[in-house]
Amino acid sequence: MQLSHKGSIAAALAGATCALLGQSQAHAETDSSVLKDWKFDTAILYYGETDRVSLAEGVVSATKTNSDDSIFNVKLVLDTLTGASANGAVAQPTVQTFSRPSGKDSYQVAAGDTPLDDTFHDTRVQVAASWMQPFADTWRGTAGFNVSREYDYMSLGVNGLLEKDLFQRNTTLSAGLSYQFDSIDPVGGKPTPLSSMMVPADDDYDDEFEGEDDDHGAKNGSDDKTTLDMLFGVTQVINRRMLMQFNYGLSIVDGYTTDPYKVLSVINTNGVTQDIVYENRPDSRTKHSFFWQTKYALDNGVVDVSYRYATDDWEIDSHTIDSRLRFNLSGNSYIQPHIRYYQQSAADFYQPYLNQSADLPMYASADYRVGEMTAYTVGLKYGRTLENGHEWAVRAEYYQQDPKNAGFEQPGVLADLDLYPSVKAVILQFNYHF
């Protein structure tokens, strides 16, 4: 008995202390887990589209909390992508032949089908690290960098974030800056904008093709782009159960924004393809985004709802609503339904095809991802905490994109073809936290 108190209080305290000391023996082994400073979040994800792209991705994120409350995080992401992707050309009532990006091979698309390029196979490695340092009681500074590398792409970025707590930490202001440098080295070279795609003939294309030398489908070199992001946020505690965040983001992209693998069909008045040309996008983009999120603690769960409005000088406006509802089934398990709805308008240079009779525009893309579309995601996650404090979770989701006709005609043979097919995907994920 180390304690020496006086009188009856001392005796009472000694009794209480003994009771507590008694507990300490029984639970001494769990002592370390409370103070554990390294935590690991790992996940594997499968994303698969019907007849199109599939993606497998693995993440390991390690976080160390230091005794001064500074936090170090390092994250490694590995993913591999295979499958087919819409190349931008319109379906035709006849078989179509396209060149592969390498220019040394071709693929055919059946009559009536949306042209998909099945060449894609890529592996990406990404490493990101950040350090968050609290200072002067109510300030936090975070600095980070990230590097990502894939076969035809390289990305380097640095970012910084400053946060200030006000009013007993009920309000937090934040300002962040991020600078990203991306370099793309397209397979087969960077195509000349709006130049024709050379299609090798079915037989002896090798000889014919390598002899070609003109501006027809000329491809050479690599290109790059820079992205400067600014983010300003306010987080406000509303009451014991609710907090809210509002962010304004400004993003300025400068450089090569074109997708070197996307093309457009040039059609005649009867809707029949006469030529295939590479797309071309503006060399800058300025985007504003407004993001609002609120979280509400239920007695047995959490409501998380967010809304994002974004608008840019490509005339793409988008609305995103994302909500997650966590229900605790018991002290150590939960289910979490997830619903997301997304809607975007078309870029001003988007068009599903080019008219042979019209002058070539400066910029054009038939990539459905810059066209008008709606998309939704529905999913369910189940998570469980184990006896040893580790946590695992599984998530299954369904994602569907519904591209829309933004008011373009479908002349002649195009009238009966589906130019805006839906894209359907499943997402499966497994998480483990320890």
Taking CB under 8 A as the criterion, which residues in 161-180 touch another protein?
161, 167-171, 176, 178, 180
If binding is defined by CB under 8 A, does position 144 make contact with another protein? Answer: yes
- Total residue count of the chain as it appears in this document: 434
Stretch that binds another protein, among 88-96, 208-216, 234-242, 267-275 (CB under 8 A): 234-242
* AA letter at 109: V
CA–CA dist 53, 86 (Å, integer): 10
Site string for another protein, 312-351 (x = CB under 8 A): x-x-x-x-x---x-x---------------x-x--x----
Count residues near another protein (CB under 8 A).
123
Please pick, from the candidates 106, 306, 323, 356, the single residue that binds another protein as defined by CB under 8 A: 306
Binders of another protein in range 251-290 (CB under 8 A): 251, 259, 261, 287, 289-290
The least distance separating another protein from the CB of residue 113, rounded to whole angstroms, comes to: 18
Count of Cβ atoms closer than 10 Å to residue 235 Cβ: 18
Distance CA 367, CA 273 (A): 17
What is the sign of the dihedral through the CA atoms of 105, 276, 186 and 419?
Answer: negative
Minimum separation from the CB atom of position 90 to another protein (A): 18
The distance of closest approach from Cβ of residue 45 to another protein in the complex, given in angstroms and rounded to an integer, is 5
Interface mask toward another protein for 373-392; x: CB under 8 A: x-x-----x-----------
Contact 24, 418 (CB under 8 A): no
Q: Does residue number 184 form part of the binding site for another protein (CB under 8 A)?
A: yes
Contact status: 192 vs another protein (CB under 8 A): no
Number of H helices, E strands in the chain: 3, 21
| Side-chain-facing half-sphere of 70: CA atoms under 13 Å | 11
Binding piece for another protein, criterion CB under 8 A, among 88-96, 270-278, 297-305, 406-414? 297-305
> Minimum distance from CB of 301 to another protein (Å)?
8
By CB under 8 A, the residues from 4 to 33 that bind another protein are 4-6, 9, 12-13, 15-17, 19-21, 23-24, 26-28, 30-31, 33
Q: Is 137 in the site for another protein (CB under 8 A)?
A: yes
Q: Using DSSP, state whether 351 is helix, strand or coil.
A: coil
Residues of this chain, 28-57, that bind another protein according to CB under 8 A? 28, 30-31, 33-35, 41-43, 45, 47, 53, 55, 57
CA distances from 210 to 103, 105, 190, 276 (A): 9, 12, 17, 19
Beta carbons of 103 and 191 less than 8 angstroms apart? no
CA distances from 170 to 136, 164, 240, 243 (A): 17, 11, 10, 9
Which residue, 205 or 349, has its beta carbon nearer to another protein?
Answer: 349
Q: How far is the CB of 91 from another protein (least distance, A)?
A: 19
Calculate the CA 27 to chain-centre distance: 43
Considering only CA atoms, which of 185, 256, 248 is closest in space to residue 227? 256
